[in-house]
Amino acid sequence: MTRRALIAGNWKMNMLRAGGEALAAALTSGIKPGASADLLVCPPATLLAPVSAVLADSSVALGAQDCHMNEAGAHTGDISAAMIKDLGAAYVIVGHSERRADHAESDVIVRAKAAAVLAAGLTPIICVGETEAERDAGEAETIVGKQIRGSVPEAAAEDTIVIAYEPVWAIGTGRTPTVDDIAAMHAHMRQVAGNVLGGADKLRLLYGGSVKPGNAVEILALEDVDGALVGGASLKAEDFLAIAAAAP
């Protein structure tokens, strides 16, 4: 089963308009024709519209970093999946560990958000990952399995969602699990997700956490790794394009 790689950039709370437009433009001009990976950028909500305009007619896709679980209503400051779709986006990241930590998002909330993304006709990128204490206690696979079972919505199918494994201790730290640990976790994730979804051959599983041009080749070569969710290195066009070029 060959799954097409997805290289996703999570800009987090970075970039003002000029910088975001310039970064998006550099990606559209730098992406190689016939590239083996799909490219996706997830700017902050304020930049979805201007970045969407820059990406129009390019092969680089647009996504958001979060959305509300409801379709519309009295939720001051929030945005819905339909609003995100309206700006030309195709993906929404849900359940990033920074949202799970900063906004107390539980699996139940993440699942409802992922369901809202699917209902709007978009693809959720559902994030899971253990803390350092959980890994040290030998609980990483148990925790990630529980997060997958708790966060994947009923309506999901193997080709309508993406799951990203982001060990919390590897995010923004320059540290990564060994390739053997990543391979073992992704194999475990495909097994758990396969049970939940009734199959996972088509499911794209991303690795995220300190992915750089220097480690992308060995990580992306792993059989059950179908792409990367990139934070810091996605803010530099050269680095992000180098990671995309590392996809087999």
Phi first, then psi: give them for residue 162, nearest 5 degrees: -125, 140
Q: Does residue number 172 form part of the binding site for ligand 13P (CB under 6 A)? A: yes
Q: Which stretch binds ligand 13P (CB under 6 A): 138-146, 183-191, 197-205, 231-239?
A: 231-239
The residue among 57 and 102 lying less far from ligand 13P, judged by its C-beta, is 102
- Helix or strand holding residue 61 (H, E): strand 60-64
- 238 as an active site residue: the answer is no
Contacts with ligand 13P, 79-98, as mask; x by CB under 6 A: -----------------x--
Shortest distance in whole angstroms from residue 138 CB to ligand 13P:
23
Kindly write down the DSSP assignment for every residue of 65-92, as one continuous string: S---SSSSSS-TT---HHHHHHTT--EE
Q: By rule CB under 6 A, what count of residues binds ligand 13P?
A: 14
Q: What are the residues whose beta carbons fall under 8 Å from the beta carbon of 166, sequence distance 6 or more?
A: 96, 97, 127, 128, 129, 207, 208, 209, 229
* Selected binder of ligand 13P within 6, 7, 10, 64 (CB under 6 A): 10
DSSP 159: T
Nearer to ligand 13P, 147 or 210 (CB): 210
96, 141, 186, 188: the catalytic one is 96
Active site annotation includes 96: yes
Q: Which residues are catalytic?
A: 96, 166
**Residue numbers at the binding site for ligand 13P (CB under 6 A):** 10, 96, 166, 171-172, 208-211, 229-233
